Amino acid sequence: MPSNKGDIKSYMKWYYIVGGIVVIKATLNLIKLIQCKHILDKYVHWLKDQTWKLVEKKSKVIALIKGAGISDQQIPVLEPVGYGKLLNAQLSVLDNFPSARKDIYEFTLGLFFNAIGVYRRRTIESFNPLFWIETIIYLPKRILKYLGLNPDSVSAKVLQLLWWFFTVAIAILIAIFQEELRDTLTPPIRRFFSRGG
Q: What is the pLDDT of residue 149?
A: 81
Q: What is the pLDDT of residue 165?
A: 92
Domain map (residue ranges) of the chain:
1-127, 129-197
Q: What is the pLDDT of residue 1?
A: 46
SS (H, E, C) 68-119: CCCCCCEEEEEEEEECCEEEEEEEECCCCCCCCCHHHHHHHHHHHHHHHHHH
Q: Annotate 113-122 with b (16+ C-beta within 10 A) or e (fewer).
A: ebbbebbbeb
Q: Measure the CA–CA gap between 147 and 118, rounded to whole angstroms.
A: 19
- The series of mean pLDDT values per 10 residues for the chain, 197 residues long, is 58 81 94 95 87 83 92 79 72 86 88 95 93 88 82 85 90 81 70 61
Q: What is the pLDDT of residue 139?
A: 87
Q: What is the pLDDT of residue 24?
A: 94
Q: Measure the CA–CA gap between 146 and 74, rounded to whole angstroms.
A: 24
Contact 93, 104 (CB under 8 A): yes
